[in-house]
């Protein structure tokens, strides 16, 4: 998992080393594509979960006969592959961005997506916070978002995770889709409904990054933080769980931004946190996992044990469709202590064989899925959002199954299933494009089976961010819970 953490950092924050414009011949493109196709069709267990075989066959044929004619370099192939793999509807399947020899200057505005529209998240360039971006260089906001969706993988049909990634990485994604420019023509509508156009110069990657702390959607003023950089570092940027209290309401807020931490250390920190909660005789506990993109399942399990009402389950089954790794010569193993062969032999060789898959219905973590004897017995609320993913979504689903109130927005992690076990990185030989793909399909344990397929974990109380909340810098989701507690 530490290896994966490092790779995910490279994917999202360091796309800046190797040029994406080296020419590729048609034969080279076809060879790289064929390797990817073989991996998907021979080893990937969820290929037909959301997209039927006839549609996949059509997509593959179209690529080989038509699309290939338009692909001339690494960046062309990258864009085409991301569009293709988006049909898997899998947030764990990531096409790593081509890296660049030199750091490009990028579109500089920091944006937030609300109701599928782009709004300014800062007041830079004299554009008021909460102004709607109508168009950039004549391309309207709806079309911009539509063209960038393919770069942001998500489970099923939920767009929340996609939107959170697009708004966070808008500059670099715009560059990959449209290329770089010195000047961008921006048409925008202010909160007072005045429409203006403005020429905005590109900015360096570093200078844009320094302004991230000024985002109104980080709610620094809501928390009365004078030093925004320090606030962001100690809240959104903090991976370890942390706790703060609202003494006037006898309430504690536990923030868990990640489960991607050393298991033993994480458990010790949680133990200390819940000891403090008990000492303060807290009656209400708010757990914020809106930034939690997952990590170790055991951390999610251990965290939930402190609020569980009874024993719990995380899955019905897991499955694989291959006993050997396809295109192994192009693969890089990420799971310590195993090769795919030894992994298969240990867990699946003697599992139930069902058509073209091996199905495992036991869970080695089951003994840990019990309420802690130190569990919190007061009222619990959980904050969830589009970035809540993988093991973060598992935690949300544990809560859903036991009737613990979820507040916020639909998670990016799937309700019924995810493909998140045994990750491998493939490197395509001609383009050098890297692909992170998992080979284990996980069918989650759910109690409510009326939820539509392809959804994430749904909040019990949906509180989307509004433009007015963005302008005011108000955390309306946390506000809602505080008001509920206050009214009691």
Question: How long, in residues, is the chain?
Answer: 488
**Token pair in block for residue 43:** 């080893």
pLDDT by residue for the chain (488 residues), tens only, comes to 344 444 444 444 444 433 456 799 999 999 999 999 999 999 999 999 999 999 999 999 999 999 999 999 999 999 999 999 999 999 999 999 877 778 899 999 999 999 999 999 999 999 999 999 999 999 999 999 999 999 999 999 999 999 999 999 999 999 999 998 999 999 999 999 999 999 999 999 999 999 999 999 999 999 999 999 999 999 999 999 999 999 999 999 999 999 999 999 999 999 999 999 999 999 999 999 999 999 999 999 999 999 999 999 999 999 999 999 999 999 999 998 999 999 999 999 999 998 889 999 999 999 999 999 999 999 999 999 999 999 999 999 999 999 999 999 999 999 999 999 999 999 999 999 999 999 999 999 999 999 999 999 999 999 999 999 999 999 999 999 999 999 87
- In which region does residue 167 sit, left (phi positive, over 0), alpha (psi from -120 to 50) or beta (all else)? alpha
């Amino acid at each position: 998992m530490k290896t994966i953490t490092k790779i995910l950092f490279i994917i999202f924050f360091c796309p800046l080393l190797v040029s994406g414009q080296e020419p590729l011949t048609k034969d080279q493109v076809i060879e790289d594509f064929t390797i990817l196709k073989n991996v998907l069709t021979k080893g990937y267990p969820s290929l037909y979960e959301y997209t039927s075989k006839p549609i996949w066959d059509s997509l593959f044929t179209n690529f080989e006969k038509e699309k290939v004619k338009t692909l001339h370099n690494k960046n062309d192939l990258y864009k085409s592959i991301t569009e293709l793999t988006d049909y898997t509807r899998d947030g764990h399947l990531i096409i790593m961005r081509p890296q660049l020899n030199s750091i490009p200057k990028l579109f500089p505005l920091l944006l937030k997506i609300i109701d599928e529209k782009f709004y300014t998240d800062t007041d830079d360039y004299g554009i008021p916070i909460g102004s709607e971006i109508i168009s950039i260089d004549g391309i309207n906001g709806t079309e911009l978002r539509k063209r960038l969706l393919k770069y942001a993988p998500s489970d099923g049909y939920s767009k929340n995770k996609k939107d959170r990634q697009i708004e966070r990485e808008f500059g670099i994604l715009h560059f990959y889709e449209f290329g770089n420019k010195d000047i961008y023509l921006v048409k925008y509508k202010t909160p007072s409904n005045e429409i203006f156009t403005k020429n905005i110069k590109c900015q360096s990657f570093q200078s844009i990054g320094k302004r991230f702390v000024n985002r109104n959607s980080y709610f620094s003023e809501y928390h009365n933080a004078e030093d925004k950089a320090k606030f962001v570092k100690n809240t959104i940027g903090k991976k370890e769980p942390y706790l703060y209290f609202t003494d006037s309401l006898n309430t504690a807020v536990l923030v868990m931004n990640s489960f991607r931490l050393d298991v033993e250390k994480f458990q010790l920190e949680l133990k200390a946190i819940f000891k403090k909660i008990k000492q303060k005789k807290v009656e209400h506990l708010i757990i914020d996992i809106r930034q939690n993109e997952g990590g170790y399942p055991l951390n999610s399990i251990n965290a939930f044990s402190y609020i569980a009402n009874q024993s719990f389950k995380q899955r019905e089954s897991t499955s694989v469709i291959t006993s050997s790794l396809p295109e192994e010569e192009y693969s890089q193993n990420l799971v310590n202590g195993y090769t795919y062969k030894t992994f298969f032999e240990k867990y699946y060789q003697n599992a139930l064989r069902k058509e073209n898959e091996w199905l495992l219905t036991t869970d080695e973590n089951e003994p840990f899925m019990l309420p802690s004897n130190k569990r919190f017995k007061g009222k619990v609320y959980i904050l969830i959002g589009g970035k809540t993913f993988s093991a973060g979504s598992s935690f949300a689903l544990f809560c859903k199954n036991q009737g613990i109130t979820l507040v916020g927005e639909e998670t990016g992690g799937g309700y019924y299933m995810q493909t998140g076990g045994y990750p491998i990185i493939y490197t395509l030989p001609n383009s050098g494009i890297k692909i992170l793909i998992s080979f284990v399909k996980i069918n989650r344990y759910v109690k409510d089976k009326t939820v539509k397929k392809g959804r994430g974990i749904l909040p019990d109380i949906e509180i989307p961010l509004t433009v007015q909340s963005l302008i005011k810098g108000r955390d309306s989701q946390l506000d809602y819970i505080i008001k509920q507690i206050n009214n009691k």
